Structure 1
Amino acid sequence: MTRADLGKDPREVSAMFDRVAAAYDRTNNVLSVGNAPLWRVATTRAVDPKPGERILDVAAGTGTSSASLAKSGASVVAADFSPGMIEVGRRRQAHVPNLVFVEADATKLPFDDDSFDAVTISFGLRNVNEPKQAIAEFFRVTKPGGRLVICEFSTPPTPFVRFGYGAYQRYVMPPLVKLSSSNDTAYEYLNESINAWPKQPELAAWIREAGYTDVAWRNLTMGVVALHRGRKPVA
């Protein structure tokens, strides 16, 4: 098995990411046509980390987004269920003193209730087999008054952009993956999972169902990606 499928068995997804860990960041930059760093900046600004805060970055992968959050002086926990990703992340981010890596399943987070000032996940919720359960876990570990930020691939609202993006996925992405990835078949799952993912209003509804308020989203890159936000009410 070199790739997962839309059943999203946790063991298969974890193993798939183990195999692509070494070249993961490079491949993301290539496939996003240079937009990945811009999405990271937008996510960091939405989280708005502050010195002294404790922030959970779920599905953190190699910790690139976590390191960006940690520059603020906040204490950041980078959680991922892929041991291979964590191994690469610990090595690459060893110079960041306020960043720790934890192996964790998004649907069963090993943290106490009300533990974090902010919880964020970038391009990882789509890979969870029970995303609603994961959002409920995010809510559980968020402090009252704390915030949630989800950055995820989405559906461009404009038909012309949807058509162009679909053409990119079908005809441009496959040869780019062959050039940049150590496991090009794993990225077939990437397109499948993006196309099967709910549109922005549905994800916003899931976030509200979990208990978050002030839920909103902002489209990035014409809706190829969407940035969702919510806040846990103060009791």
Structure 2
Amino acid sequence: MANLQLLPEPLSVRGEIPFYHAKSAEEFRADVYERYDELVTRQTALHLADELHGAYPLQAVADYVLGQLPPGEDLTLADVGCSVGRLAAELLRAHPGAAVYGIDFSYQMLRQARAYWVQGETLRPNLFRYGYGSPQLPGHHLTRLQFALARAEALPFPDHSLDAVVNSFLIDRLPNPLAAFAEWMRVLRPGGRVITLSPLNFLRPEAWREWHPPVKLLHALQAAGWEVLDWTDPLWLTEPMDVRGNAIQWSTLAFTLLRR
């Protein structure tokens, strides 16, 4: 089985979540993803409450990622920007011998992910605002799944230690996406892969100018030394919003990079 001991001693531990970034009080206040009632419950409804939707709404994300992983069973994988841990759990369930690490910058997301996927807690999120009430969501005990707080651009893994870095709905939220890709190249073994899905729904006007259309990103990644194994644009996703059937349609870019 893959090595579960890659993470070094953390800077601190909070609620059994190791911190590899000294997240300040100001960073906590500024981070919208630390808003439990608003963002964590929304992510819980989307990623953990399949029975509300009849199936997992973003199964296409998991299907794409699983189809792009490098060959082998005992893989060492990191889901960067893991939110409440659904994609990380899908990786482990598909590869039970893997070591899977869920990395996020939101403590509240990580706390929810660990409670549900590792500790087996039954969640009872307040989803009345979406018309779903307060469903009971029985948890799991995936003990080979580890969660930690770190920045996407400064991961706690040794050089050349991972077989794949996966990420979804992340790179358009980063101040410098290329810095993250450089960091991911550092932690990947030769032959390792980055698997990315993003709507490229940038928050800053300068990011739109720099990376739209997506061919600009393609050329920048190739110039940085990545080999492009797959480039799918668009990969359409539907994110349900409420019991009435309101939804967001995401036109995502999905791509896989090889570290030579």
Q: Match of 2:236, as an amino acid? A: T
Number of aligned residues: 188
Which of the numbers 36, 43, 54 marks the counterpart of 2:58? 36
| CA 148–104 in structure 1, closer or farther in 2 if over 3 Å, else same | same
Which runs of 5 or more residues in structure 1 are unaligned?
A: 1-9, 155-189
* Match for residue 40 of structure 2 among 17, 21, 24: 21
Q: Which of 1 and 2 has greater Rg?
A: 2
Give SS of 2:31's match. helix
Q: By how many angstroms is 1:15 displaced?
A: 2.1
Secondary structure of the structure 1 residue equivalent to 2:63: helix
Amino acid at match of 2:146: V
Match among 83, 91, 104 for residue 115 of structure 2:
91
Please list, as runs of the form range in 1=range in 2, the aligned pairs for 1:122-201 lying within 5 A after superposition. 122-154=168-200, 192=203, 196=208, 198-201=212-215
Matched AA of 1:80: D
Q: Secondary structure at the match of 1:107?
A: coil
> Mean Cα displacement is larger for which, 219-228 or 114-123?
219-228
Q: Which amino acid aligns with 2:217?
A: L
Displacement of 1:199 after TM fit? Answer: 3.2
CA distance in 2, matches of 1:46, 1:137: 20
Q: Return the structure number with greater relative CO, CA threshold 8 A, min gap 6.
A: 1
Q: Which residue of the other structure, out of 82, 88, 110, is the alignment partner of 2:106? A: 82
**Matches of 2:186 and 2:30 in 1, distance apart?**
24
The TM-score with structure 1 as length reference comes to 0.70
String of CA shifts for 1:110-129, please: whole Å, max 9, x gaps.
Answer: 11110101111111111111
Q: Distance in 2 between matches of 1:229 and 1:217?
A: 7
For 1:86 and 1:138, how far apart are their aligned partners in 2?
Answer: 20
Q: Deviations over 1:44-79 (max 9, x none)?
A: 222257421101110011110000011112211111
Structure 1 position 208, deviation (Å): 1.9
* CA positional deviation for 1:200: 2.8
Q: What residue ranges of structure 2 are gaps of 5+ in the alignment?
A: 1-25, 119-140, 238-249
Q: Tell me the residue number matched to 1:164.
A: none
Show CA shifts across 1:68-114 (max 9, x none): 01111221111111111110110111111221001110111111110
Q: CA deviation at 1:17?
A: 0.7
Identity %: 24
Matched, 1:226 2:253: yes
More strand by share: 2
Separation of aligned partners in 2, 1:209 and 1:25: 38
The structure with more helix, counted as a fraction of residues: 1
Partner secondary structure for residue 223 of structure 2: helix
State the TM-score, normalizing by the size of structure 2: 0.64
SS where residue 224 of structure 1 aligns? strand
Residue 96 of structure 1 aligns to a residue in which SS?
coil
